[in-house]
């Protein structure tokens, strides 16, 4: 069931409409404290969707929402679940996104 929900939700996290994208990130930020470690089955789907494009976004609202989501993940999800997806993404990012994710890893 969780896969079905997040398979449908994931495209909104990088929607071409910036308002839809930002609302999806803000919604994800609200969901993380409720779901916590129950997100583990979908964490490998979520991290790329949250990080790709959003951390390098020129939109201050999208960038802020994406960093808030990452912060919520670090606070509410077991860090051992985040380590591998963060490392994998950090290898292939550039710019501000790489810096932000590397700081989270540290």
Write the pLDDT tens digit of every residue in 43-99: 999 999 999 999 999 999 999 999 999 999 999 999 999 999 999 999 999 999 999
Say what the pLDDT of residue 93 is.
92
Q: Is the pLDDT of residue 7 over 90?
A: yes
2: confidence class by pLDDT, cuts 50, 70, 90: confident
Angle between helices 79-92 and 43-51 (to 10 degrees): 40
Query: Which residues, in sequence order, are CB contacts of 91 under 8 Å at separation 6+?
Result: none
Residue 78 dihedral angles phi and psi, to the nearest 5°: -55, 125
Distance in angstroms (rounded) separating the CA atoms of residues 72 and 59: 20
34: confidence class by pLDDT, cuts 50, 70, 90: very high
| HSE, side-chain direction, 13 A CA sphere, residue 96 | 11
């Amino acid at each position: 069931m969780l896969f079905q929900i997040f398979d449908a939700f994931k495209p909104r996290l990088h929607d071409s409409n910036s308002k839809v994208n930002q609302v999806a990130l803000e919604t994800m930020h609200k969901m993380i404290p409720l779901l916590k470690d129950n997100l583990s089955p979908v964490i490998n789907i979520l991290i790329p969707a949250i990080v790709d494009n959003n951390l390098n976004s020129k939109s201050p609202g999208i960038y802020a929402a994406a960093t808030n989501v990452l912060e919520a993940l670090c606070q509410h999800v077991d860090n051992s679940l985040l380590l591998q997806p963060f490392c994998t993404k950090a290898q292939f990012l550039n710019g501000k996104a790489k810096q932000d994710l590397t700081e989270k890893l540290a």
